[in-house]
Structures are given as C-alpha cells and as structure tokens.
C-alpha cells in the first residue's frame, strides 16, 4: 500500500491560537479605570461577569447570528398576512443573555450613582461580541425618557421594557414577561429632516390611526415602536404596538427587509401603516422635542459602541501580532508594528474615556455638558472606528479580510454608527446650535477644559485656539467639522490628564494636539514606550 504521508504538503505552523474564553472586562485596563473614574466601581462584579460571556459564549453566538441573517415571513402558507421576521436561535440566545444582565435597562432598574456609566460599559462590552443586537437593546433603553411624557402609557410599558427577561413570544405586551422597543422616524422624502414627514395621524376615540410609511423602521421584531407622524397640531410622537390589546395584528405592513452593509444579525425594514393604532406620547405638535430625549441616549450608545468595536479590533490585532512571526521575529517585537499597535491603543483608550465621561454627564443630568459630549463624541468616535478597524485588518494581513475572522464583520459594522441617529454633519450642526443658543453650553465646554489648564503647554495652546475659533462667527458652519474634531481631542486629552495615566496622556497630547504623528496609524514620533502602551491595552 502507498504511504499516505507522501501527500502531506505542509504542516500548519506560525498561526496564532484562537482567541477565546477571555474576560473582556477584567483584561481591559482602560475601561475598568474609566468606569472607576466616573463613579461606577460598584458595577465591577456585573461587568466582569458579562465580560466573561463576551469573551466566550457571546462571541461564538455572534458568529452564528451573523452567518444566519433574519428572514422576512410576510405570509403564511395559506396566504394570511404575517409580517414577521424569523431569527436564528443564536440571536435569541444573545438577546436573552443581554437582557438578563441589564444591557438594555440597568440604569433604570438601579438608579444609583453612575448607573448610566455601568450600563454604558455593558453596552461597550456587548458591541464586541455582536453589534447588530445592540440596535433593539439601545432603543429599548433609550425609549424610557420619551415614554415618561405619557404617564399612563409609561405605567403600562416601563415595567415590561425594563424587565430582565427576554420574551420572544408573539403575544400582546400585557401577557409578556419582557418587551423590546424600536423606532420609526425617517421617511423616503426626508431622512434626517423629520419635519417633512408625510405620515398622518388622525385622532380616534381611544388613540390615533396612522397612515403612512417609514423608510427605516428599526427592529421590526419589537413589541412596539416610537414613531413620528403629522397630527393636527404638527409632528407628534406616538407609541405603536405590534399587537393590539385583543391580540390581533396592528395594521403595520412590512414591505421588505433592508439589505444592509453590516448589522446582519439584526433586521431593519421598510413599512407602511394602513390605519395602524397608536397612543400619543407627549404634547401634540411636539414630537421632535419628545423623541430627542430618546435620540440623545441612542447617540450615547453610538459613541460607546464605536469605542467597543475599536477595542475588539485592537485586541484581535495585538493577539495576532504576539503569535505571528515574519522575517525571523514576532510581529509585536518589530518597531514599526509596535508603533501601529501603540498608536491604535492610544486611540481606543481616548475613545473609551470620552464615552464613559459622557455617560457620567448624562447620569448627573448635566444637560449642557451631556448634550455637548454626546454630539461631539458621537461625531468623533464614529468617524475613527472605520479607520482603526481597517488598520487592525492590515495587522492580520489577508486573514483579516476573511469572514472566518471577526475583522470583516467589525469593518462592515464600523460605519453604521456615524450614519445612525444623525450623520456627522448633523452632529456638528447640533454642536453649533447648542453653543449659540445656550450660554451654559459654552460655559460647560470651557469648565471641562479649564480644569486641567496649566498642566501641559500644548493643551493650553490648543484650548486657547479653540476659543478664538468659536468667537470668529465668519464661516463657522463651514468650519464646524474641524471645530468639533478639535473639541473631541481636547475633551479626550483633558480626561486622560485628569486620570493621571502616564504616558498615555503625554503621548496622546503630543501626537494628537502637538503634531507628533502623521495622518495614518503607526506614524507616532519616536521615543514613546510603545511596548508599555501595548501591554496596557492587552496584558501579555
């Protein structure tokens, strides 16, 4: 008989071991220190427990949920209208674990100091395992302030949407252990300009009947949605349930599921309302003001989630570099790769610090600073995520472009948060609007920055330049992206300086504010302790 070993063409070597069964919280020094800094140390045990799941079961479930996309079941076999979306069991397990640990509601269930910080840290962790399911989790979380504008409706719904139970059964909300909420704001003709919405709400004896459409109807598997429609007094906010109280289907017709670049484990849809029943939330004609309280929190999750995506990409890159050899040395020992990884580590820590600081501002109901930080952070973190994830792909080479790794999914997902809940231009205009309308916003900006004045000459110079730029009203709107970018970098630098983390703060200021780097990651000037920065980001 022939020797089968003669067909052995090679041995598999010089490949990193699988990255699995790690604690995504306890190994994230930047996150744990940021949580402590912002008053959330009481949540350490919760975060560590969830971090164990994120680095284990949830990470595996994320692959399965994204490989098996949701499917629209518009009709049953007999032709009856269903308008249901079918999900893989992995998605349901992800949602069960997330809601069990309070990713969607911890801040409301335990309204103690820095509860928003701890909940934001849970969301940051969850994004690393499966970003798609963050959509319904975020909207369920963010709907709470808006619902409180209708006390009778809130009394019925808040216990359901803050429940730690995930209940996927198709039942009227009153019969379920827990519920999730979605959102329907944008229409074909308007996009972010929701004031031109054409959907029409007509008052009835027990609520409103809505006729119209939504071009992006997020999470069509939810139990209810907050939607905007035109009533007699103008654009208004409504809660629209999937099932009517008697168990019959509401008149919501799913036209199709969106074929999206990323976010594959979740479903987004186009729908028509054919006389759908809804209850008004807030004052008629004040729909934008009502739903903006929800949007402020979803924007917080956008910036937090982008930091989480960047964190997962960084971890994958460092893990690969520590085990892969090229030209006789481990990648992590090669000076240029060290520069790339250290530069990425600085970016991720600054993004994480900014997100947790914004969460504390929201938690403390610091309205002026909270509005500013969420808009600035939403703009900047979301802009940085695609660039950093792509750099991490380069660290893995071709393996980072193959679907068996998580990097392609992160890369597809990374642009979403910059589009969702208002594009970059919308965020910049919101910043200008806040600064021009409320003196307290400008005071909050400079109070945050002046707290570290005198500690670093480069920082002081840039802060003074920002003040001068804001005082120059000419071409302010045209320059707003540059201004918001500078604000983000100064906010990040101030947070890192107050944290007293050296050499992180020094390297960040020298590179981001002092011109000590080029445009691409890995172009830091020499002399910084690159290996120490890498080890801080992902302990060896």
Ordered per-residue pLDDT tens for the chain, 540 residues? 578 888 889 999 999 999 999 999 999 999 999 999 999 999 999 999 999 999 999 999 999 999 999 999 999 999 999 999 999 999 999 999 999 999 999 999 999 999 999 999 999 999 999 999 999 999 999 999 999 999 999 999 999 999 999 999 999 999 999 999 999 999 999 888 999 999 999 999 999 999 999 999 999 999 999 999 999 999 999 999 999 999 999 999 999 999 999 999 999 999 999 999 999 999 999 999 999 889 999 999 999 999 999 999 999 999 999 999 999 999 999 999 999 999 999 999 999 999 999 999 999 988 899 999 999 999 999 999 999 999 999 999 999 999 999 999 999 999 999 998 889 999 999 999 999 988 899 999 999 999 999 999 999 999 999 999 999 989 999 999 999 999 999 999 999 999 998 899 999 999 999 999 999 999 999 889 999 999 999 998
Query: Coil, strand or helix: which one is 247?
Result: coil
Nearest 5°: the CA angle 248, 235, 295 is: 85
Q: How far is CA 316 from the centre of its chain?
A: 19
Collapse the DSSP code of 321 into the 3-class scheme (helix H, G, I; strand E, B; otherwise coil) and give the result: helix
Backbone phi, psi, residue 148, to 5°: -65, -10
Give pLDDT, residue 1: 58
- In the prediction, which pLDDT does 4 show? 81
Q: Is the Cβ–Cβ distance between 142 and 135 less than 8 Å?
A: no
Site of tokens 């910084």: 528
Q: 3-class secondary structure for 439-456?
A: HHHHHHHHHHHHCCCCCC
**Which residues are CB-neighbours of 480 under 8 A, at least 6 positions away?**
428, 429, 431, 432
Beta-bridge partners for 209:
202, 277
Q: Do 67 and 132 touch, CB atoms closer than 8 A?
A: no
CB atoms within 10 A of CB 477: 12
Pinpoint the residues of the chain covered by CATH 2.40.110.20.
Answer: 29-285
Residue 265's contacts (CB-CB under 8 Å, 6 or more residues apart) are 62, 65, 66, 69, 70, 88, 90, 91, 94, 130, 132, 133
Q: What sign results for the dihedral spanned by CA atoms 482, 488, 491, 494?
A: negative
Q: Where are the alpha helices (DSSP H) in 333-366?
A: 335-363
* Contact between 173 and 201 (Cβ < 8 Å): no
Superfamily of domain 289-537: Butyryl-CoA Dehydrogenase, subunit A, domain 3 (1.20.140.10)
At 437, list the tokens: 């309308």
Task: Compute the distance between CA of residue 90 and CA of residue 64 in angstroms, rounded to an integer.
Answer: 6
Compute the Cα dihedral for 228, 231, 234, 236 and give only its sign: negative
Helix orientation angle between 57-67 and 115-129, rounded to the nearest 10 degrees: 60
Q: With 0-12 CB in 10 A as exposed, 13-18 as middle and 19+ as buried, what is 189?
A: exposed
Cβ atoms of residues 459 and 452 within 8 Å: yes
CA 517 to CA 525: how far, in whole Å? 6
Dist CA 292 CA 294 (whole Å): 5
Cα separations in angstroms, 511 against 198, 259, 275, 370, 489: 48, 39, 57, 27, 11
Residue 6 has what pLDDT?
84
Pairing of strands 268-281, 71-75: unpaired
Report the C-alpha gap between 281 and 284 in whole angstroms.
8
Right CATH number for 29-285 from 2.60.40.420, 1.10.150.20, 2.40.110.20, 3.40.50.300?
A: 2.40.110.20
| Stretch(es) of the chain classified as CATH 1.20.140.10 | 289-537
Reference 168, options 237, 222, 236; nearest CA is 222
User: What is the pTM for the complete model shown?
Assistant: 0.97
Cα 128–139–405 angle (5° rounding)? Answer: 20
31 phi and psi angles, rounded to 5 deg: -70, -50
Could you give the CA distance from residue 39 to residue 226 in angstroms, rounded to a whole number? 32
């Amino acid at each position: 008989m022939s020797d089968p070993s003669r067909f052995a063409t090679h041995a598999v070597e010089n490949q990193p071991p699988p990255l699995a069964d790690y604690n995504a919280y306890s190994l994230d020094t930047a996150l744990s220190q940021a949580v402590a800094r912002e008053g959330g140390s009481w949540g350490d045990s919760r975060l560590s427990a969830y971090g164990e799941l994120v680095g284990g079961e949830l990470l595996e479930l994320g692959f399965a949920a994204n490989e098996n996309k949701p499917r629209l079941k518009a009709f049953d076999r007999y032709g009856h209208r269903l308008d249901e979306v079918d999900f893989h069991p992995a998605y349901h397990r992800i949602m069960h674990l997330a809601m069990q640990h309070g990713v969607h509601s911890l801040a409301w269930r335990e309204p103690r100091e820095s509860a928003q910080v701890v909940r934001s840290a849970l969301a940051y962790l969850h994004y690393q395992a499966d970003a798609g399911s963050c959509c319904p989790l975020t909207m369920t979380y963010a709907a709470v302030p808006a619902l409180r504008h209708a006390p009778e409706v809130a009394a019925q719904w808040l216990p359901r949407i803050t429940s730690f139970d995930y209940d996927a059964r198709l039942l009227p909300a009153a019969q379920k252990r827990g519920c999730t909420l979605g959102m329907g704001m944008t229409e074909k003709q308007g996009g972010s300009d929701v004031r031109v919405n054409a959907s029409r709400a007509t008052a009835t004896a027990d609520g409103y009947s809505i006729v119209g459409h939504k071009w992006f109807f997020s999470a069509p598997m939810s139990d209810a949605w907050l939607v905007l429609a035109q009533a007699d007094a103008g654009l208004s906010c409504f809660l629209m349930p999937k099932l009517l109280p008697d168990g019959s289907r509401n008149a919501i017709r799913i036209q199709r599921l969106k074929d999206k670049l990323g976010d594959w484990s979740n479903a987004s849809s186009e729908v028509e309302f054919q006389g759908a029943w809804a209850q008004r939330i807030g004052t008629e004609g004040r729909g934008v003001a009502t739903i903006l309280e929800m949007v402020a929190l979803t924007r917080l999750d956008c910036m937090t989630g982008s930091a989480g995506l960047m964190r997962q990409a960084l971890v994958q890159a460092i893990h690969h570099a520590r085990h892969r050899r090229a030209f006789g040395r481990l990648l992590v020992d090669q000076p240029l790769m060290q520069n790339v990884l250290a530069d990425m580590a600085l970016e991720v820590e600054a993004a994480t610090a900014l997100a947790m600081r914004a969460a504390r501002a929201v938690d403390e109901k610091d309205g002026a600073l909270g509005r500013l930080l969420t808009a600035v952070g939403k703009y900047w973190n979301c802009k940085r995520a695609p660039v950093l994830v792509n750099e991490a792909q380069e660290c893995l080479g071709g393996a980072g472009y193959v679907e068996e790794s998580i990097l392609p999914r992160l890369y597809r997902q990374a642009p979403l948060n910059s589009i969702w809940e208002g594009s970059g231009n919308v965020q910049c205009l919101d910043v200008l609007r806040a600064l021009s309308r409320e003196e307290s916003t400008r005071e909050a900006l400079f109070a945050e920055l002046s707290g570290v004045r005198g500690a670093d000459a480069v920082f002081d110079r840039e802060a003074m330049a920002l003040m001068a730029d804001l005082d120059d009203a000419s071409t302010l709107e045209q320059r707003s992206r540059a201004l918001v970018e500078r604000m983000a970098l100064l906010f990040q630098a101030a947070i890192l300086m107050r944290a007293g983390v050296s050499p992180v703060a020094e390297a960040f200021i020298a590179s981001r504010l002092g011109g000590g780097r080029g445009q691409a990651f890995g172009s830091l000037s020499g002399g910084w302790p690159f290996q120490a920065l890498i080890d801080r980001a992902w302990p060896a």
